[in-house]
Amino acid sequence: MSYRKGLKVWVEEKGEGWVEAEVVEVKDRAVFVLTSQRKKITVLAEKLLPRDTDEDLGGGHVDDMTKLTYLNEPGVLYNLKRRYALNEIYTYTGSILIAVNPFTRLPHLYNEYMMEQYKGVRLGELSPHVFAVADASYRAMVNDSRSQSILVSGESGAGKTETTKLIMQYLTYVGGRAAIDDRTVEQQVLESNPLLEAFGNAKTVRNDNSSRFGKFVEIQFDANGRISGAAIRTYLLERSRVVQINDPERNFHCFYQLCASGKDAELYKLGHPRSFHYLNKSKTYELEGTNNEDEYWKTKRAMDIVGISRNDQDAIFRILAAILHLGNIEFSPGKEIDSSKIKDPTSNFHLRMAAKLFMCDPDLLISTLCTRSINTLEGAIIKALDCSAAAANRDALAKTVYARLFDWLVENINKSIGQDVDSKVQIGVLDIYGFESFKNNSFEQFCINFANEKLQQHFNEHVFKMEQEEYKSEKIDWSYIEFIDNQDVLDLIEKKPIGIIALLDEACMFPKSTHETFATKMFRNFSSHHRLEKTKFSETDFVISHYAGKVTYQTESFLEKNRDYIVAEHCNLLSSSRCPLVSGLFGSLPEESLRSSYKFSSVASRFKQQLQALMETLNSTEPHYVRCVKPNSVNRPQMFENQSVLHQLRCGGVLEAVRISLAGYPTRRTYAEFVDRFGVLVPELMLGSYDERALTKGILEKMKLENFQLGSTKVFLRAGQIAILDMRRAEVLENAARHIQGRFRTFITRKEFVKTREASISIQAYCRGCLARKMYMVKRETAAAIIVQKYVRRWRLHRTYQQAHSAALLIQSCIRGFIARRYFSVIREQKAALVIQSLWRKRKVIILFQQYRQATVKIQCAWRQKLARRELRRLKMAAGEEAKSVEILKRDKMIESLSAECAAAKSDAQSEHDKNRLLQRQLDDSLREITMLRGSKIMTAEAEKENSNLKNLVESLSKRNSSLEYELTSARKGSDDTMKKLKDVEGKCNHLQQNLDKLQEKLTNLENENHVLRQKALNMSPLNNMSMATKAFPQKFATPIGLPNGEQKHGYETPPAAKYLASLPQSLTGSRRTRMPVERQEENHEILLRCIKENLGFKDGKPVAACIIYSCLLHWRAFESERTAIFDHVIEAINNVLKKNLRSNGLFATPSRRSGGPLGIGDKIVQTLRSPSKLMGRIDTLGQVDARYPAILFKQQLTACVEKIFGQLRDNLKKEISPLLSVCIQAPKSSRAQPGKASKPPGVGAQPPSNSHWDNIVNFLDLLMSTLHANYVPSFFIRKLITQLFSFINIQLFNSLLLRRECCTFSNGEYVKAGLSLLEKWISDATDEVIHQKRKKTLEEIRQDLCPNLSVRQIYRICSMYWDDKYNTQGISNEVVSAMREEVNKYTQNLVSNSFLLDDDLSIPFSTEDLSMAIPAIDYADVELPESLHHYPSVQLLVKHHDPQPV
């Protein structure tokens, strides 16, 4: 292949495997490329591989490797890497599934809804998934009645066990279980996993928990496809690991668990693993993140679950401890030649412990280990064994005991699970170790790789067979295609009489043979074999070229590990054990084994036989393959190591499948895809041609390609031909690009020239305008300057005048003010002098008056004091009555004299008072003036003080006001909070009160029902059947039929109760209402059953049967009966009609699929819809009829029937529309855009996309509406039914975008949009009573309302799956997708459910009250009784009186 500059290629790099590069220069055979790391290297052309130039378009990845343009190693590797970065861990390679371990939880991929999506879907129709492979195997088993097998392979840690669990989980989901069992098969098998892992898993170089055996889980099915049993088959247990391990590997987990078991270990005299020979060959005793003691108890719990008794558990652990003690027995040379004995007391202690744990004779154990018996005709000959032979004998015993113990455990696990020996078909899931290649490879790796070579041959045959089937289906010639086989490697290993295994067995039979003699003989026999090579630095190592690469084996331990002797003494020793489990492991030997007590058994030969049995099992089944890949060695998510994954792809046979495809026609494209991509090579053929096959052939013939094949729907190209086409396409596109660039540059240059010319013209015009404007501005400024100067001069003169005028006025005013102030000051001084003089005179007078008055008072006081003392002395001296009278006379005289003096004093005082009054008047005038001045001064000071006080008061009031406002605000907030809390408490109280009312109502109903059941039990007894007397219900259970609240008003009212009660006979007593004769009941039952079963149809839109049934029940007073069975018969008859009319095969699909005519639903169902809401729910207006408990229960049962009818109709509609919707999810090939045909002439119009599938849905909806209207289904019921149906359509369309990548495309979106527009048109054409059309949302509303409602995982899923298949434009950038992936990882950690799919709504969208209010009332009075019922006496009154009169 020739390379040119700019071509995208893959170049091999040591660290990364392959890296992206681009050719920058070509010189002869040397090609210079620039890698993605910007490194320029030189490589040979033969070492480059072509890369798809359009790989970045459409998401950059495919879900099936066969869709890759270039099917090669780097293409496969990087396709897996891109899908892994998007958490797309599953990828197809044809029918093979590749599963990359995500090392993180992805629960949304494995829930029940996802299993339902893949149920019954053809492989490849949905995105790759392990459920798809499991479903394909199950469908093939059911359809072909042939057993299937699923081969899960991969290296340790790749997720094989988890994948096996998921497969069993899905098979349990689709298959169920025929028998009733509390545990599923998946649970039973998984419960045994800890036990099998403990005894069959060990640490290897690459994995801490590697399975050292092959596990084939066989799930058995019965003839109906139901799971009937299961079994676990084990293959190829690595027995040699028991006695020999290499550092840093470990022995089987159970030994380390037992050593860490604490008291149990002490019981068996066990210590640290380093003290035992079988465990201390490796220094690794503990595993990171694993506690051996905890694992020990998990193993014991698993034994309990499997059903192993405690005695057997003790025996199992005794056997394990005995094996460890057995390994510590050492031998030393005995007294005789070539004999041996126990070396020391320590070895003797371990021997005694081993014998004690085996429960056998210690001496017999010593004899068995150190001697060998040979049976001859004369008798048995005892031969002593040397130390090496005794040690080999010891190891053989340990391996035999452990292998038989493992087989016993598997057998007990199978008994616990339960096998079906009569099963004809089964599905087997094989979980086996993968290809191994280490630095040092021994006998174990040789056997494992031999098994993988066998499985690879089976895999190659299957892949080649699938290739042949595709070639046959496309009707192309494939006879000359060569089959790539690895039979030569298998012959090299297993062919007899000369093969590696045969030579190894032959060397093991001779005691003196060594690994050198074995290697020499092998090289001599296979010196010319191209698959076997000899190493340069070793004489005994050899190299085998396997399908996955070359592996170097070291033969040092081949002979020891291959030897496995069947020793009769071992069997005799342990069969005589007192432990039932030990003796049961070693039954009687065959006769031929008894002849020789020491028969050689080859491990490799037995391995080969088990492998052959496994291959026979696989060959009898149809295989399915799952290849598990470990993306990195550190077990971290979102890490992808190219070199490690490439190695696993080679070891897993994926690249071998690629080589098989390359041998035939690796490139396959549908004609539409081929024409879309390469139609540009023949534009002359694209005009007016629509035959894609002819266009494909024309393209290939024009390119002069040979050996291609044209199939029915695809074109098949040989390896390298697609590269030639891509190169030619790139040349055409480059020429076209150059032509377009030239035209575009011409256009750009002319455009620039025109712009430049227009700009120069504009600049010139602008410059001229600028000059003109500048001249104009100069002239205008000159004129303006003159005007400004004139006004400035005027302003200056005016301002000078104004200044002089103002100065004169100011001087005048100042002089006049000075004179006035001086005159005012003189007057004020004169007035002040007068005031001072008057005040001074006044003061002098006041002082004189006060001095005079004080002197007068003092004189009077002194005189009166003197008189009083004198009188006191006189009185003291007087005594007796005479003295008193004398004294009285004297006193009277004194009084008279004093009175005279007082009168004189009064006259003097009066004159003095007149003088004082005059002075007082003058003083008052002076004081008045002083008081006025002081008052004015005091008032001024008080005013100032009051002003300051008022200011302080205002400030304090403002502060107080602000604090009060703050307190008011906080109080208001507190009151609002309190009011809210009160409202919440009130709402909660109301809600609790409602719940309490509901609970009381339910309790009342339960009490009523309990009472009725007791009454029925009493009636069913012989004594009560003989008695005609009945017991009345308590009055508290008697309520009117319908709603308990009689005051509720509905949209439609029924006629008054008196009208319906007119024809009731007045002679019916209470006892007769409650019980009728048996004959009358049977006749009534027959009437009602005929009304329900016969198709009485409708009259004026009224259901005849429902009206008659209601009239009869009202006529027979059934609603007032306290005990009656007539309602039960009515409900039973209605349920029988529902079972016949509502079946799962559909009701509204097509006329041919419906059993009847336009009334396919049956008018009885519609009568059932109407009867509970209109004929039972409206009797609350019949105030004279008291409904008893049977009538109330009858209403509840009718309500349940309505809900059942709605649910069954809705589910049947979904089943009918699902097939129509499934073909509308993805656009047909003919409706997709074809870029190659874009250059049609203008006259040729594009054909509109076909909407025939959407037309089928519209026709289905039209048929549904016509059927519902023909059966008089209420519009409210229709509206709810259609709403849920459209909700189901929305959910299915949205989930298809998230599940199928081919649906998440640009053209498919246009197709679905066109279909939805048809449905919108149908909605707009439908009448308003059917469905209310929602307002169409704008783009802004979708962006702001709809998008935020989507979860992060849903948006990420859509962005990662979307690709533009019409214009090949890039979708969401990788940076945005990476950022969204980080958000999804954060979002997922806090989720309980990570499902990104929408769930279907299965609720009932209405209540009985809603239905009762929406449906108009029915007047059944004018409904005539059918003639077929006229002969019944019970309804004669209805025949005579159609219109009941009021009572």
Annotated binding-site ranges: 154-161
Choosing from 69, 192, 210, 441, the catalytic residue is 210
Tell me if residue 386 falls in helix, strand or coil: coil
HEC per residue, 913-978? HHHHHHHHHHHHHHHHHHHHHHHHHHHHHHHHHHHHHHHHHHHHHHHHHHHHHHHHHHHHHHHHHH
Choosing from 201, 211, 696, 1171, the catalytic residue is 211
- Hunting for tokens 């109906």 — which residue is that? 224
Rounded distance between C-alpha atoms, residue 403 and residue 380, angstroms = 29
* Helices H / strands E in the chain, number of each: 45, 28
Choosing from 53, 207, 290, 1250, the catalytic residue is 207
Choosing from 79, 161, 234, 460, the catalytic residue is 161
Q: Is residue 75 a contact partner of residue 106, using CB atoms and an 8 Å limit?
A: no
Give catalytic status of residue 940 as yes or no.
no
| C-alpha 1160: how far from chain center | 41
Backbone angles phi, psi at 30, to 5 degrees: -85, 135
Is the torsion defined by CA of 845, 851, 854, 856 positive or negative? negative
Q: Is residue 90 a contact partner of residue 62, using CB atoms and an 8 Å limit?
A: no
**Per-residue tokens: 1290:** 């929305």
**Which residue, among 1094, 1093, 1087, has the nearest Cα to 1110 in the 3D structure?**
1087
- From residue 472, alpha-carbon distances to 10, 123, 475, 477, 1434 in Å are 33, 19, 5, 8, 75
**Per-residue tokens: 648:** 């696993």
Choosing from 17, 60, 94, 157, the catalytic residue is 157
Give catalytic status of residue 161 as yes or no.
yes
Give the DSSP H or E segment for 1408: helix 1408-1414
Residue 1102 DSSP code: E
Read out DSSP for 832-851? Answer: HHHHHHHHHHHHHHHHHHHH
Rounded distance between C-alpha atoms, residue 312 and residue 557, angstroms = 35
**Per-residue tokens: 113:** 């809804």
Residue 1428 DSSP code: G
Choosing from 156, 172, 441, 1063, the catalytic residue is 156
**Which residue, among 856, 847, 838, 840, has the nearest Cα to 912 in the 3D structure?**
856
Tell me if residue 228 falls in helix, strand or coil: strand
Tell me if residue 151 falls in helix, strand or coil: strand
Q: Is residue 484 a contact partner of residue 656, using CB atoms and an 8 Å limit?
A: yes
Return the amino acid letter for 560: E
**Per-residue tokens: 522:** 């092998």
Rounded distance between C-alpha atoms, residue 100 and residue 631, angstroms = 6
Q: Which residues pair with 331 in a beta bridge?
A: 342
Which of 209-212's residues contact partners 24+ apart within 8 Å by CB, and which partners? 209/156, 209/253, 209/287, 210/156, 210/433, 211/156, 211/161, 211/431, 211/432, 211/433, 212/237, 212/238, 212/241, 212/252, 212/433
Choosing from 436, 444, 556, 656, the catalytic residue is 436
Give catalytic status of residue 1393 as yes or no.
no
Give catalytic status of residue 1027 as yes or no.
no
User: How many alpha carbons lie under 13 Å from residue 1102 in its C-beta half-sphere?
Assistant: 19
**Do β-strands 148-153 and 622-629 pair in parallel, antiparallel, or remain unpaired?**
parallel
Which residues participate in the annotated binding site for ATP? 154-161
What is the b/e burial string over 1035-1056, where b = at least 16 CB atoms within 10 angstroms of the residue's CB?
eebbbbbbbeeeeeebeeebbe
Q: Is 1189 exposed, middle or buried (0-12, 13-18, 19+ CB in 10 A)?
A: buried
- From residue 547, alpha-carbon distances to 435, 453, 488 in Å are 10, 7, 11
Give catalytic status of residue 156 as yes or no.
yes
Read out DSSP for 279-294? Answer: TTTSS----TT--HHH
Rounded distance between C-alpha atoms, residue 338 and residue 319, angstroms = 30
Choosing from 58, 225, 434, 499, the catalytic residue is 434
**Residues tagged active-site:** 156-157, 161, 207, 210-211, 434, 436
